[in-house]
């Protein structure tokens, strides 16, 4: 009787083990068969995550939460390294955190470099002609840009804006600054292909670049003004950060106190706009207060 019980127990254990193995085999088969579905699900998740962050109205909460989110996103990219949409989401989040929340220069450089690494890999997947974009000459890069098609305009914007982030984070390095003409050429190509990409932010990047130097040193502030105005127009006035940068980069460059204060007061009087602009506009309002408070010392 005892032997029979032991035999039954062994049979039950064997059956359970077989069931587990069968389920494992089935699960692996399903993962293999639905690989694209999983890739799409990851992309959807990262896009939803980006949207949730952009819709948040408390920058401090986002500042504390994003490091964990970035690690999760990097883990997802590691397990799916050829997912261009996932790489672009990672590039945007790392770039945004580097620009808006990094507390040290070293951290800013590390975050910006990772953003650029992800965007470089993504643009290479989207367009194999762009795989060597950073290493080739300006002339060669310009030739390759001529083939940019509208469906890839947003990917190109993510790539060149993250490149600009690396340059900004390494502003003391002349080798980095020497790459600015290629970034500018990439932004111009995006504008020529589809200026509405990213709610007109390609114009905003160009405006800031044209505001880097005063007219006496070769800067083109009037061209910057046109880009600022167009960025605001394309966003229907909802991108408050465009007005803040307009005040900081253009009005201060020309010592135009009247325009400076007018733009910043408009920002403070506006609501946070649509959901996709909530976080950016909340940050813009904070920056507007700082700029107004320091205006007497500057002008």
Residues 20-38: tens digit of each pLDDT: 434 433 333 333 333 343 3
Asked whether residue 128 falls in the same domain as residue 240, the answer is no
Asked whether residue 155 falls in the same domain as residue 43, the answer is yes
Choose among 43, 55, 50: nearest CA to 277: 55
Q: For residue 279, is pLDDT > 60?
A: yes
* pLDDT tens figures, 30-65: 333 333 433 454 556 556 666 666 666 667 777 777
Q: For residue 288, is pLDDT > 90?
A: yes
Asked whether residue 134 falls in the same domain as residue 234, the answer is no
Asked if the structure places residue 11 within a domain, the reply is: no
Cβ-in-10-Å burial (0-12, 13-18, 19+) of 196 comes to: middle
Asked if the structure places residue 55 within a domain, the reply is: yes
Are 247 and 259 in contact by the 8 Å Cβ rule? The answer is yes
Q: What is the rounded distance in angstroms from the CA atom of residue 179 to the CA atom of residue 184?
A: 9
Asked whether residue 202 falls in the same domain as residue 299, the answer is yes
The pLDDT of residue 157 is 96
Choose among 62, 160, 169, 52: nearest CA to 111: 169
Asked if the structure places residue 174 within a domain, the reply is: no
Asked whether residue 120 falls in the same domain as residue 231, the answer is no
Q: Six-digit token pair at 53? A: 């962050």
What is the pTM (predicted TM-score) of this model?
0.77
Mean pLDDT is lowest, of 82-86, 167-171, 222-226, 266-270, for 167-171
Q: Six-digit token pair at 230? A: 């167009």
Asked whether residue 128 falls in the same domain as residue 218, the answer is no
Q: What is the rounded distance in angstroms from the CA atom of residue 111 to the CA atom of residue 124?
A: 20
Domain with 203, as residue range(s), is 195-299
Asked whether residue 48 falls in the same domain as residue 103, the answer is yes
Structure-token match 């490091």, residue found:
67
Say which residues have a Cβ less than 8 Å from residue 113's Cβ, sequence separation at least 6: 166, 169
Mean pLDDT is lowest, of 56-60, 70-74, 143-147, 231-235, for 56-60
DSSP 8-state class, residue 212 = S
Q: For residue 75, is pLDDT > 60?
A: yes
Q: What is the mean pLDDT of residues 72-96?
A: 89
Cβ-in-10-Å burial (0-12, 13-18, 19+) of 8 comes to: exposed
Asked if the structure places residue 146 within a domain, the reply is: yes
Per-residue confidence band for 252, with pLDDT thresholds at 50, 70 and 90: very high
Mean pLDDT score of the chain: 82
Asked if the structure places residue 287 within a domain, the reply is: yes
Q: Six-digit token pair at 47? A: 């896009």
Q: What is the rounded distance in angstroms from the CA atom of residue 138 to the CA atom of residue 183?
A: 10
Asked if the structure places residue 248 within a domain, the reply is: yes
Are 91 and 116 in contact by the 8 Å Cβ rule? The answer is yes
Q: Six-digit token pair at 189? A: 């190509």
Asked if the structure places residue 2 within a domain, the reply is: no
Q: Six-digit token pair at 299? A: 């002008």
The pLDDT of residue 81 is 92
Report how far apart, in Å, the C-alpha atoms of 81 and of each of 55, 75, 93 are.
27, 10, 17
Structure-token match 């000459």, residue found:
137
Asked whether residue 149 falls in the same domain as residue 202, the answer is no
CATH of the domain at 135: 1.25.40.920
Determine phi and psi for 255, rounding to 5 degrees: 55, 45
Q: Six-digit token pair at 61? A: 């909460």
The pLDDT of residue 249 is 93
Asked whether residue 290 falls in the same domain as residue 218, the answer is yes
Asked whether residue 273 falls in the same domain as residue 204, the answer is yes
- Domains of the chain: total: 2
Asked if the structure places residue 187 within a domain, the reply is: no
């Amino acid at each position: 009787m005892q032997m029979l019980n032991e035999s039954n127990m062994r049979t039950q254990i064997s059956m359970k083990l077989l069931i587990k193995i069968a389920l494992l085999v089935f699960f692996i088969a399903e993962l293999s068969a639905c690989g694209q579905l999983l890739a799409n699900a990851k992309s959807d998740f990262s896009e939803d995550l980006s949207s949730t962050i952009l819709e948040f109205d408390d920058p401090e909460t986002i500042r504390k939460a994003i490091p964990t989110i970035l690690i999760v996103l990097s883990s997802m990219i590691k397990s799916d390294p050829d997912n261009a949409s996932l790489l672009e989401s990672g590039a945007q989040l790392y770039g945004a955190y580097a620009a808006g929340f990094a507390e040290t220069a070293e951290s800013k450089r590390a975050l910006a470099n990772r953003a650029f690494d992800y965007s470089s890999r993504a643009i290479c997947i989207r367009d194999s002609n762009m795989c060597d974009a950073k290493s080739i000459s300006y002339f060669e890069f310009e030739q390759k840009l001529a083939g940019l098609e509208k469906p890839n305009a947003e990917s190109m914007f993510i790539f060149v804006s993250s490149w600009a982030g690396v340059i900004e984070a390494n502003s003391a390095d002349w080798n980095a600054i020497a790459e600015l003409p290629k970034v500018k050429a990439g932004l111009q190509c995006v504008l020529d292909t589809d200026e509405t990409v990213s709610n007109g932010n390609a114009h905003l990047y160009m405006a800031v670049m044209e505001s880097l130097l005063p007219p006496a040193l070769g800067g083109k502030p009037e061209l910057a003004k046109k880009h600022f105005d167009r960025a605001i127009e394309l966003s229907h006035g909802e991108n408050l950060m465009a007005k803040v940068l307009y005040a900081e980069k253009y009005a201060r460059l020309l010592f135009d106190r009247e325009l400076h204060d007018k733009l910043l007061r408009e920002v403070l009087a506006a609501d946070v706009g649509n959901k996709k602009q909530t976080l950016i506009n909340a940050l813009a309002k904070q920056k507007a207060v700082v700029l107004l408070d320091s205006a007497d010392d500057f002008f």
